[in-house]
Structure 1
Amino acid sequence: MPPMDDDGPFFHGTKADLQLGDLLVAGRRSNYRPEIVMNHIYFTALPDGAGLAAELAAGDEEPRVYVVEPTGPFEDDPNVTDKKFPGNPTRSFRSTSPIRVVGEKTDWTRLTPEALQGWRDRLAVIERERGEIIN
């Protein structure tokens, strides 16, 4: 993986309660499809994109957006750049190296229940039509 030229800041959305200094690592179950163990850890340079990821994650806990820093090289996330958006307008990335929690962002935009359901419906269609996650 070549290092990227995006300097961030970077964000990770989840429903996990994390602490400053925690390392998020590859090899854990997907936030969205728990039957899949992920080979990468995912993050974005858009706080509302991380917020969307947090809201779509499985579980009943509160969605949270953390400020993170990569500890190693990272690449464009091919699940969105190649499948949905040419280039990387979502500024979405992945890495096999850990990412470190350096803060929490609390002023991201929450979705309405209707908008959240709309995203879930769209993702279900994409999954049926396009198949597996590029892991």
Structure 2
Amino acid sequence: MGETLDPGPFYHGTKADLRAGDLLTAGFRSNYRPEVVMRHIYFTALRDGAGLAAELAAGDGQPRVYLVEPTGDFQDDPNVTDKKFPGNPTRSYRSEEPLRILGEVDDWTRLTPDALRDWRTRLASVRGEIIN
């Protein structure tokens, strides 16, 4: 692997029911723009950031946050880094290589129904480009 951007630990939020050892891979539709098939898998070093992603993820499953380990190089997520938040205060990353599930995390902050509705409304009104 190349230079370490962040020592972690790292988290991924989803509605998929996964087990330790499973691999998360790219190639699925974006949660925010379903017409876009993503070439990267996204993760963060902020547990509650992964929780937000889990709450907003597509599907009807239970929102889940997983502790993950990148299996290859990763980079700052250009969709938020500098484009929206100078530097990388969200500690958001992406990789073309899989993420290995280490386990599920249950001590993340859930959104209230009002906050979740506000986030969905905000995302629906922002139809900017996704850097894929």
TM-score, length of structure 1 as denominator length: 0.92
- State the distance in 1 between where 2:60 and 2:26 align: 23
Out of 114, 129, 132, which is 2:129 matched to? 132
**Contact in 2 for aligned 1:12/1:65 (Cα 8 Å):** yes
SS in 2 for 1:94: strand
Once the two structures are superposed, residues 54-97 of structure 1 have per-residue CA deviations (whole angstroms, 9 ceiling, x without a partner) of 00011111100000000001000010113210100000000001
Amino acid at match of 1:76: D
**Contact in 2 for aligned 1:11/1:47 (Cα 8 Å):** yes
**Gaps spanning 5+ residues in structure 1: where?**
none
Structure 1 residues 32 and 125, CA, compared in 2 at 3 Å: closer, same or farther? closer
* Runs of 4+ residues over 4 Å off in structure 1: none
- State the distance in 2 between where 1:44 and 1:120 align: 20
Amino acid at match of 2:129: E
TM-score, length of structure 2 as denominator length: 0.94
- State the distance in 1 between where 2:2 and 2:59 align: 34
Q: Where does residue 12 of structure 1 map in the other structure?
A: 12
Q: Where does residue 57 of structure 2 map in the other structure?
A: 57
Q: Where does residue 30 of structure 1 map in the other structure?
A: 30
Number of positions where the alignment pairs a residue of Structure 1 with one of Structure 2: 132
Q: Which moved more, 1:4-13 or 1:29-38?
A: 29-38
Q: Does 1:44 align with 2:44?
A: yes
- State the distance in 2 between where 1:15 and 1:134 align: 23
**Contact in 1 for aligned 2:51/2:64 (Cα 8 Å):** yes
- State the distance in 2 between where 1:44 and 1:55 align: 15
Q: Where does residue 88 of structure 1 map in the other structure?
A: 88
The offset of 1:2, in angstroms, is 5.0
Once the two structures are superposed, residues 88-134 of structure 1 have per-residue CA deviations (whole angstroms, 9 ceiling, x without a partner) of 0000000001110001100100000100111112212222xxx2211
Amino acid at match of 1:133: I
Q: Where does residue 74 of structure 2 map in the other structure?
A: 74
- State the distance in 1 between where 2:125 and 2:80 align: 15
**Gaps spanning 5+ residues in structure 2: where?**
none
